[in-house]
Amino acid sequence: MTSWNATLRTATADDVDAILQFYKDNPNKNVLGRSDAVRNACENGRQFLVEVEGAIVGVSGAFPSGAKSLVEVGGTRVADDWQGFGLQERLFWARFAAIVLTEDRDVQITTAVDPDNATSKHSILKQGFAKWDEPAPELLVECDPGPGRAGCEKKAALPAGAKCCSDFFLISRDALRAAIRAFLDDTKESTTVTRRRKSGDVLTLHVTCKTVCDPERREDLEAFCEGR
Ligand SMILES: CC(C)(COP(=O)(O)OP(=O)(O)OC[C@H]1O[C@@H](n2cnc3c(N)ncnc32)[C@H](O)[C@@H]1OP(=O)(O)O)[C@@H](O)C(=O)NCCC(=O)NCCS
């Protein structure tokens, strides 16, 4: 058994270059790591990262969708050696809390997943996302060619009528409340939590996000969970 210390924190504008480098060093066909989206999320408190001894081991963001009151969560990459500790789940919770505290209460949260990405699909279904068969058109803008954009190269290979190579999912209000409740409960006694993976390895995770470290913000999240 091996144990490590890690920190889950909100990224800032100073982290943009390191996050983009992390995507480059950990390439994966399911994650784009777009610089404009990362920069925007860092500047708006919607990019999160996990560090071990100062090195990034996981990143994730929340991005404008182009549609009003619809936020897209994505860009999650947990480095291979650090998978299985539940970091993706905590990155979801951190993003949900940041979105709920800064958007209208009727905000909807969506995510897109490649149908073949079994791990990611498992993890979003566990959070309570459900398939969205008719996603908002704003989410599909990049698929087709248009002014200033080439369109998605995968579109031509899709079956007739298919709009996108990814499946879209939405999280229900109840599932969102349950996820935020889980984040609050996980950090209730202490914002340092212990994560174990199946091999027995232990990760001591220090959660420093204001959403759960600041009592007033915790209270606002409690109110959201209770529908107040
Ligand atoms: C998807 C990813 C972010 C998950 O990171 P992680 O921190 O290891 O995720 P977690 O530990 O929170 O959860 C992983 C879950 O997937 C499960 N899992 C792992 N491999 C799986 C597989 N092949 N099929 C189904 N479930 C799988 C684990 O058992 C665990 O489930 P549990 O929470 O019920 O025990 C990581 O695998 C990754 O970076 N993948 C490549 C990039 C990617 O696909 N990003 C998402 C784009 S939509």
Nearest-atom number in ligand 1 for the CA of 84 is 11
Q: Could you tell me if the CB of 117 is within 6 A of ligand 1?
A: yes
Segment 97-108, tens digit of pLDDT: 999 999 998 899
Ligand 1 centre to CA of 97 (Å) is 21
Ligand 1 centre to CA of 119 (Å) is 4
Q: Which domains does the chain have, with CATH numbers?
A: 3-225 (3.40.630.30)
Say what angle helices 173-186 and 215-225 make with each other, to 10 degrees.
Answer: 140
Residue minimizing CA distance to atom 20 of ligand 1: 119
Segment 149-208, tens digit of pLDDT: 777 878 778 888 788 889 999 999 999 999 999 999 999 999 999 999 999 999 999 999
- Whole-structure pTM value: 0.95
Q: What is the pLDDT of residue 50?
A: 98
